[in-house]
Chains A and B, each alone.
Chain A
Amino acid sequence: MRTRRNRYDLRVPLLTTTALTRTFGPVTAVSELTLAIEPGVVGLIGANGAGKSTLIKMLLGLLPATSGSATVLDLDVATRGEAIRERVGYMPEHDCLPPDVSATEVVVHLAKMSGLPTTAARERAADTLRHVGLYEERYRPIGGYSTGMRQRVKLAQALVHDPRLVLLDEPTNGLDPAGRDEMLGLIRRIGVDFGISVLVSSHLLGELERVCDHVVVIDGGRLLRSTSTADVTSASGVLVAEVDERADDVTALLVGAQLTARVSGRTIEITFAGDDTYDHVRDAVAQLGVGLVRMERRRHHMAEMFTGPDAGQAGEKQ
């Protein structure tokens, strides 16, 4: 009855929009948005009020478009809303859990509300809560949970019916840095290990670039950019090595080994010239007996999309 599905089903496009527009009176929340996105982990980035939540509600088939059209998993949002909601999970931005029942009760109930028979609903609820990292506490009333635990319950209810796509509206809101990292790790796992496509919204560019395969940036309801993260954050031609002392001497040795190297403080920027470059750095620090703190290929950052590569690299050092 249960099988493994490897990665995503690539035969159907995840979502497409064609000149999708939604206005509220004089306000245009989403304007002429045209997108085509393949399965994977997709980030939806925009400032507050950029139209992220409006777009998600339209994709769920809960808010009719003023004009234009959209499909989710090849289903038209205007006519197949129920079919979409059967195959899609949704995690709202706001708190939405009653305090007087336990996580297990909520998730079992909502699994049934997605059409799972009672026995399957119980099994899936237990499995899903374990996957999001809730163990014994899942039997306690939600009223006593921390924000991080509540977010996990909200995520579990979006996953319990094994959707093909989950729409996560600002899942890291209100979390502390550690909780934020855990949530982002979980989102990455949902995409990579569970094989469930993810559309995750955030107003923070930096946190999404780590977990997304593709990012869509919107501002004022308009599309700024839709691009694969690999393109943006591909490795640049610079290897950065940080040593604990004598950076100048290390640089001199590297230059002696026919490499282009430049020192700035305790970090050395070396023009990458194949895998041998790593070995030269290793040999140099070993020869001098200094400590190598870190060594990595510098990556482009998504912020460069807005500010240009130079500003992005300067920003990295802070």
Chain B
Amino acid sequence: MTANAATPANPGAPGAPGAPQTGAIHDIGYRHYDGARLGRGYIVRSLYLDSLRGGFGLGRSAKSKVVPLLLLAAMCLPALVIAIVAAATKATSLPGGYHAYVLNLEVLVAIYVAALAPASVSRDLRFRFISLYLSRPLRRSDYVFAKFTGLASAVFVVLAAPLTILFVGALLAKLPLADQIRGYLAALAGAVVFALVLAGIGLVIAAVTPRRGLGIAAIISVLIVLIGVSGAAQSIANERGADTAAGYFGLISPFSLVQGLQTWLLDQENPLPAGPPGTVGGLVFAGVTVVLVAGCYGLLLLRYRKVSVS
């Protein structure tokens, strides 16, 4: 109990009361943070960027980069071939054009959404990581907003990349500039609608299937089945001469829905067996698209209102 042996030569000696230098041993430099604390806007933006990067496996393990980057390459390859052919043969128009490019690769797009939507949200639910978000200054609706826009942006990039390659090819082939710009921008606008619709459907399914594998299977099945049913129904109706019905059957698949809307708005040639019948049909397609996107967003908000912190 006597503090007579405080040996300054041995500063590491524990329990030498009164020796000021030993204070540093207990406090190995915890420093408080007095720097900037940015608000919700910054937080939502960071989460959005994280989700967008996650759409390509960036910031995730090497394994999770494989599928998205392979699919992106697969989406771009045909465009690259078309662009090279167009440039090499001095073609007078782009083979295939911009308008139907996404529709032709709809299965690849469906796989991409199915692979990425669960990676974006199922993971947070399954491992209950979501509770660490909710205990921070971020609202549930902020989380939904950031995840939705993040995935939609990732899908948009995947759709816009091949369209951009086509456009560059067309410029190299010295095709009429005004036509190409119009076609390219119209296709990009279509890609925005595609991205919103597909991200909405993908996230709603992923948010109720916490197991990632199940989510992937569910999204792929839903999208592929809808594509199949819509295509078959349109063809059968067409053969029987029921043109109006054939047009409305396009509402079944999200791809033919957006393609139909795009065709009607831009007054383009229809790549599908049937397009929206007349102005009424066009308005119906537009209405269904808006309701679908808003409905998916609303369902996500509802779903996340119920997510518990623990």
A residues engaging B (CB < 8 A)? 1-5, 53, 57, 60, 62-63, 82-83, 85-86, 89-90, 92-101, 105, 109-110, 112-117, 120, 124, 127, 131, 141, 157, 161-162, 169, 189, 193-195, 275, 278
Q: Say which residue of B38, B40, B123, B309 sits within 8 Å of A62 (CB atoms).
A: B309
**CA–CA, A68 and B304, complex, Å:** 26
Closest-by-CB residue of A relative to B133 is A113
Question: Which of B82-90, B124-132, B153-161, B184-192 makes up part of the contact surface?
Answer: B124-132
Chain B residues in 8 Å Cβ range of A82? 40, 137, 139
Known pairs A53-B310, A62-B135 / 12 extra A-B pairs, C-beta < 8 Å: A2-B31, A2-B32, A82-B40, A82-B139, A92-B132, A98-B129, A100-B123, A116-B35, A116-B36, A189-B26, A193-B27, A278-B1
B138 contacts A by Cβ under 8 Å: yes
**Which B5-43 residues sit within 8 Å CB-CB of chain A?**
26-40, 42-43
Q: Is the CB of B46 within 8 A of A112?
A: yes
**CA–CA, A96 and B60, complex, Å:** 17
Q: Is the CB of A162 within 8 A of B32?
A: yes
Q: Is the CB of B34 within 8 A of A3?
A: yes
Interface residues of B, count at CB 8 A: 42
B91 contacts A by Cβ under 8 Å: no
Would you give the shortest CB distance from A114 to chain B, in whole angstroms? 5
SS class, residues of chain B in contact with chain A:
loop
Would you give the shortest CB distance from A128 to chain B, in whole angstroms? 9
Would you give the shortest CB distance from B100 to chain A, in whole angstroms? 37
Q: Is the CB of B129 within 8 A of A96?
A: yes
Would you give the shortest CB distance from A7 to chain B, in whole angstroms? 12
**Which B108-133 residues sit within 8 Å CB-CB of chain A?**
123-124, 127-129, 131-133
Chain A residues in 8 Å Cβ range of B136? 85-86, 110, 113-114
Q: Is the CB of A83 within 8 A of B50?
A: no
Chain A residues in 8 Å Cβ range of B129? 96-98
Would you give the shortest CB distance from B165 to chain A, in whole angstroms? 31
Chain B residues in 8 Å Cβ range of A92? 128, 131-132, 135, 309-310
Closest-by-CB residue of A relative to B127 is A98
Chain B residues in 8 Å Cβ range of A100? 60-61, 63-64, 123
Chain B residues in 8 Å Cβ range of A115? 36-39, 42-43, 137
Q: Is the CB of B35 within 8 A of A95?
A: no
**CA–CA, A291 and B132, complex, Å:** 54
Q: Is the CB of B30 within 8 A of A193?
A: yes
Q: Is the CB of A60 within 8 A of B42?
A: no
Q: Say which residue of B35, B61, B309 sits within 8 Å of A2 (CB atoms).
A: B35
Lowest 3 A-B CB distances belong to which pairs? A162-B33, A90-B135, A115-B37
Would you give the shortest CB distance from A138 to chain B, in whole angstroms? 15
Q: Is the CB of B37 within 8 A of A99?
A: no
Closest-by-CB residue of B relative to A194 is B30
**CA–CA, A96 and B46, complex, Å:** 20
Closest-by-CB residue of B relative to A163 is B33
Closest-by-CB residue of A relative to B46 is A112
**CA–CA, A297 and B33, complex, Å:** 40
Chain B residues in 8 Å Cβ range of A157? 132
**CA–CA, A99 and B59, complex, Å:** 14
Closest-by-CB residue of A relative to B36 is A117
Q: Is the CB of B32 within 8 A of A3?
A: yes
B47 contacts A by Cβ under 8 Å: yes
Q: Is the CB of A94 within 8 A of B137?
A: no
Would you give the shortest CB distance from B45 to chain A, in whole angstroms? 10
Would you give the shortest CB distance from A273 to chain B, in whole angstroms? 15
